Structure 1
Amino acid sequence: MRFRGYVRSDGTVGSRNYVAVIPSVVCVNEVVEAISSRTTMTRGIYHHQGCCQLPPDLARVTDSLIKLGQNPNAGAALVVSLGCEGVDTDRLVAEIAATGKPVERVNVQEIGGTARAIQAGMDLAQKLAVKISGQQRQDVDLASAIIGIKCGASDATSGLASNVVIGYLADRIVEAGGTVIFGETTEFIGAEHILARRAKTPEVAARIYEIVGRMEDRAKSMGVDMRSGQPTPGNIKGGLTTIEEKSLGAIVKSGTKPIEGVLEYTEAPSSPGLWIKDTPGREIEVLTAMSIAGAQAMLFSTGRGAPQGFPIAPVLKICGNPITYENMSGDMDVNAGLIITGERSIEELGEETLAHLIRVMSGEVTKCEEIRYTTSMDIYTLGPVI
C-alpha cells in the first residue's frame, strides 16, 4: 500500500505542506492569527502557554513547539516571539532548522510593536510559502505513515462501531510497517490490565500501570476521584455508565498488535509499530500530542459528534452512531454506523476507511479541513501558572 506525500530532507514524509506559524507564547496569538489569516499555505499553532510557568513546564512547552515545527506536514516554519517569554526561542528556531526546512523569526518587541510584527510576519510567511510551494508529492510506502488515533464525544456506539473500525485500521497500518499512536490515559483506567497483556516486554507493561497510577494520583491531589469527571455528562447521556465501561470500548481502537512502548507527552516513537502516549482525554491536548509525535494524519472516533480538526494534520472523523452521522454529515467523514445497521461488516467498512485515509494522506481534504474548523489545540502542562 502506498500514498503520495511530501518527502522532506530529513527523510520524513508529510501529508500536507504548510508554513507553520508558531507563537512562542500566548501573548502573540493575535499576531499569529493576523499573519495566518492574510496569507495562504499558513497554519497558526495557537496555544495558551509559554510564560509564568515552572521550569519543567517551560521545557515541556519548548519541546512541544519544536516537535510541532518538526512535524513533516510543516514544510517551513515562522516563529513569532514577544521577546520576554519563558520559552527558549533560540533553541526553538535552531532545532526546527536542523531538520533542513526553512525557518524565520519575528520578535514583536524588537521590531517595534504589533503592526510592524504583523507586516514583517506576512512578508516572511509569503517568502516561505513561495519557497515550499513548488514541492511535489511522491509515491511512498505506507510504512512511512505515522497515524494518531483518538475518540471523543463517545456514546454506546463508539465501542461497537467507530472504535472497532479504527482498531482494524491500526492493525492494517502496523502490518504494513507503519506507526500508530494512541493515548488518553484517563480512558483506559479500569482496562489497563488488558493493555498490559499486550505489552512487548514486562517493562512496557509496568509503564502502562505507572502512567495510569500517575494520572489517578493527579485527580486525587485535588481531593476528588477521577470518576467525578469521567465518564463526562455527554458520555452518560450517550449510554456509557462507568469509566470502566467507557475504557473497555475506548481501548478497542488500539487494535490487537503488541504495544512497543509508552511515550511521554513530548516524545516520538523510535521505531514502527503500536505505541501508547501518556495524555489526558481532552481533544485539544491529545491531537497536539499526536502531532508532536510526528503524526501526518489522525483517526478520530465519535458517537455524539466531535467536529474539530487540527491546524497542521488532517483529522478523519469516523462516526459510530448512524443518527449522529445523518445529523452532522457536514462534519463526519465516515459512517461507521453502517456496522450497527448491518449494512457493512467490520472488515468491509475497515477496508473502505483505509482507502479513504490513503486518499486523505495523498491530499484529499477532510470535512473539518474544508470548513476550516482546524484551529483548536493546546499543550498539556502539569504545574500551575505562577
Structure 2
Amino acid sequence: MSIEKAKVLLASDSTTKSRVLQLDPRDNVLVALTDLGMGERIRFLERDYVLSADVPAKHKFVTEQIAAGGEIIMYGVLVGKATEALRPGDLLATRNLRHAAREFHETEEVGRTWTPPDVSAWRKKTFTGYHRADGQVGSRNYWIVVPLVFCENRNLAVLKQAFEEELGFAAPQVYRRQVRELVRLYREGKNDELRSFTPSAMQPGTPSARVFRNVDGIKFLMHEGGCGGTREDANNLCALLAGYIHHPNVAGATVLSLGCQNAQIAILEEQITRRDPHFNKPLLIFEQQKSPSEAAMISRAIRETFLGVVEADKVARKPAPVSKLTLGLKCGGSDGFSGLSANPAIGHTADLVAVLGGRGILSEFPELCGVEQELIDRCTRTEVADRFVQLMRDYAARARAVRSGFEMNPSPGNIRDGLLTDAMKSAGAAKKGGTSPITAVLDYPEYASEPGLNLQCTPGNDVECVTAQVGAGANVVLFTTGLGTPTGNPIAPVLKIATNSGLAERMADIIDIDAGSIISGKTTIDEMGEVILDRVIEVASGEARTKAEVLAQDDFIPWKRGVSL
C-alpha cells in the first residue's frame, strides 16, 4: 500500500494525523512518524491508545491484545511473533518480539495482472551514453585493470599510482596535505598550533589536467580472491570479473595474472564468451610467470594500457532510449522509514523503467524473507518462480548448515531505528522492486539480459551486493539509506537516497536525494519516484556526478558464496 492510500486510514484529528501511520488494513501495529511519549493518548480510527512506553519515531506499537506466541502483522504480512502478552499501546521491542515469517510454495498461477504506471512523459526522453558494439549503452566510459589473484595486488597498486596521478584521474589529496601541514608544525616546534590545528580552512586541491576528454577514468578492482579457496570461489570470481569486462561502462580491460592460481585465464575467457560470443573489446592479459621480470611486465602493461585508453577516448556520448538503463536497486543502513519512503520511491522508478523496456535488479535474498510468496506470484513464468524458490531454499539451507539463519540479519543499527526482525526489514526492503512483473531470476554472478524486473541472488551486505549488481550489468545503482552508508562502485554511479530529511541534512556529503518529504507529506511516493528517474537520466548522461563518485567511493568486494547475510 502506498503512503497516499495509507493516509486515508488516519484519523481526522490534526494532532494525530501526522504522527502515526498504518501501512495495511490488516496490520495490528501503528508506526510512529515522530517521537511519542509514554502516557500519550493516540486516537486512530475512532479508537484511543494509551502508550505504555515512549515510542521513538520509526518504531511501532500494537493496536490489539496479543497473546504470547501471537502474530505481529505489518505491511499486511507476518513479521514476527510476540514472546509475551501485549496490550494495545505497548511498544514493540526485541525483548517481546521474535522473527517469524510465512511459509512459501511453488505455484502454477503466475503472471498476475498488473496495471503499469503512465510513462508518456518519458517515452521520448533519452540519455546520452556510450554505445557499445553489442548494443549495450554505458553511463560512463572506464578502462579497468583487474587482477586474477590477490598476488597481483601490489602490481595493481603500482599501476594505479602511475596512471591516476599522471592522467589527472587522482582524487585531490586534501588529507595528504593535512598530514604535511601537521609535520611542518611539528618540525617547527609549534606544539600549541599542532594541538589546535583544524583542516576546516583547507580547500581540496585541484587535480592535474585531464589528458583524455571522453574517458572517465581507469579503475583498479583490487580483491583478495583467486586462489586458496574453493573451485567455486575461483569460477565465481572469473564470472564476476567477466561481467565487469562485458559491462557497458567499460571500454576495455587490462588483466594481471600470476599464472598458477585457481582463477585461470581460460576460465575468465570462457565466462566472457558466455556473456558475449562476439566479444570484441580490447582485452590485455599479462601473466607474470611468463614474463622475463616484474618490471618488464609492468612496463609493457603500462604501454599497452595507455594505447588502449587512447582508443577508448575516441568514443563519444550519443543519445540512447531509457530502455538502455539497468538499475541496481539496493538499500543499506536501513531504518524504520526505509519501507515507507525511499524504498517504494525507487520501486516506482523501477516500474517506470520496466514499462519503458529497461531493467531493474532487486537483490539481497536474505532480505526477501517473508515476502517470497508475493514475489513468486509476480513471476511471469513458472520456471522463473521455481528458480526463485530453489535459490531461496538453497541460501537458507547454507545458513542453517553453519548454525546461522535469516533471522540473524538485522544489524544493531537497523534494530535501533525500528527494524526489529528480518521479516519486518524484508517487507520494507522488497518495496524497492515496485509492483511490476518479475521477468527473470539470476543466480550469482550471472548477467541480466531480460527486460523488466530481475531478482538476483546476493547477500544483503552493501558492498558485496552492489558489486554483484554492477557485475550483472547495472549501469546506475539506486541506493537507499536511513542511517547513512558511504557505499559506491568503481564503474557505475551510485545514487544515495535518504529515507528521512534529518539524515539528508546531517550527511549531505554522501546523500544525493532526500526522500524524507514523503514522510512529512510534502511529496507523494510516485512524485519522488519520478524525480529520481529524472536524476538518473541526468547522471547517466554525465551531466552530474553522484556524491559517491566525487568522494571516490570505489568499493569492490566479490561474494565468495559463503553465508553472508
The TM-score with structure 1 as length reference comes to 0.94
Distance in 1, matches of 2:242 and 2:448, equals 16
Residue 213 (str. 1) matches residue 388 (str. 2):
no
Is the counterpart of residue 188 in structure 1 residue 312 in structure 2? no
CA contact under 8 A between 1:16 and 1:313: conserved in structure 2? yes
Q: Which residue identity is paired with 1:17?
A: N
The corresponding residue for 2:510 is 331
8 Å CA contact 1:22–1:69 kept in 2: the answer is no
- Please identify, of 4-13 and 197-206, the stretch whose mean Cα deviation from structure 2 is larger: 197-206
- Summarize deviations over 1:115-169 as a string: whole Å, max 9, x none: 4444333323222111111210010111111111111110011111110111010
**2:235 aligned with 1:59:** yes
Equivalent residues of 2:325, 2:359 under 8 A apart: yes
What amino acid does structure 2 have at the position aligned with 1:84?
Answer: C
After TM superposition, the structure 1 stretch with the greater mean CA deviation from structure 2, 109-118 or 170-179, is 109-118
Deviation, structure 1 residue 112 = 4.6
Letter in 1 for 2:242: I
Match of 2:248 in 1: 72
Question: Do the aligned partners of 1:31 and 1:117 also contact (CA within 8 Å) in 2?
Answer: no
Gaps of 5+ in 2: 1-124, 168-216
Q: 1:88 aligns with which of 255, 264, 272?
A: 264
Unaligned runs of 5+ in 1: none
Match of 2:159 among 35, 44, 61: 35
Of 134, 139, 142, 1:10 maps to 134
**What number of residue pairs does the alignment pair up?**
382
Cα distance between partner residues in 1 of 2:152 and 2:348: 42
Q: Output one character per residue of 1:66-103: Cα deviation in whole Å (capped at 9) or x when no partner.
A: 11111110101100111221112145357379521112
Could you tell me which amino acid in structure 1 is paired with residue 238 of structure 2?
T
Pairwise CA distance, 1:209 = 2.4
Q: Distance in 1 between matches of 2:388 and 2:263?
A: 30
Q: Identify if the C-alpha distance between structure 1 residues 273 and 128 changes in structure 2 by more than 3 Å, giving closer, same or farther.
A: same
Residues 208, 90 of structure 1: CA spacing in aligned structure 2 closer, same or farther, 3 A cutoff?
Answer: closer
Counterpart Cα distance in 2 of 1:22 and 1:222: 32
Distance (whole Å) between structure 2 residues aligned to residue 34 and residue 283 of structure 1: 28
Residues 1:340 and 2:519 aligned together = yes
| Corresponding residue of 1:234 | 413
Cα pair 2:440 2:450 within 8 Å, conserved: no
Q: Shift of residue 256 of structure 1?
A: 0.4
Q: Does 1:24 align with 2:203?
A: no
Aligned-residue Cα RMSD (Å) equals 1.8
Counterpart contact for 2:391–2:443, Cα < 8 Å: no
Amino acid at match of 1:31: N
Contact 1:21 1:43 in 2 (8 A): yes
Displacement after TM superposition at 1:348 (Å) = 2.1
Question: C-alpha separation between the residues in 1 aligned to 2:500 and 2:153?
Answer: 36
Q: How far off its partner does 1:373 sit? A: 1.3
- The amino acid across from 1:45 in the alignment is L
Q: Are the aligned partners of 1:79 and 1:93 in contact in 2 as well (CA < 8 Å)?
A: no
* 1:81–1:107 CA contact under 8 A, matched in 2: yes
User: Which whole-Å CA distance do the structure 2 matches of 1:320 and 1:282 have between them?
Assistant: 19
Q: Which stretch of structure 1 is more off in the superposition, 79-88 or 100-109?
A: 100-109
Partner Cα separation in structure 2 for residue 225 and residue 84 of structure 1: 36
Q: Which of 199, 210, 223 is matched with 1:47 structurally?
A: 223
Separation (CA, whole Å) in 2 of partners of 1:93 and 1:125: 19
Matching residue of 1:178:
358
Query: Partner residue of 1:151?
Result: 331
Report the Cα distance in structure 2 between the residues aligned to 1:113 and 1:328, rounded to whole angstroms: 47
Q: Does structure 2 retain, via aligned residues, the 8 Å contact 1:93–1:105?
A: no
Corresponding residue of 1:249: 428
Q: Distance in 1 between matches of 2:150 and 2:362?
A: 27
Residues of 1 paired with 2:292 and 2:514: CA distance? Answer: 51
Pick the structure with more helix per residue.
1
**SS of the residue aligned with 1:154?**
coil
Does the Cα contact within 8 Å between 2:478 and 2:497 map onto a contact in 1? yes
Out of 438, 442, 447, the residue aligned to residue 268 of structure 1 is: 447
| Other structure's SS at 2:144 match | strand
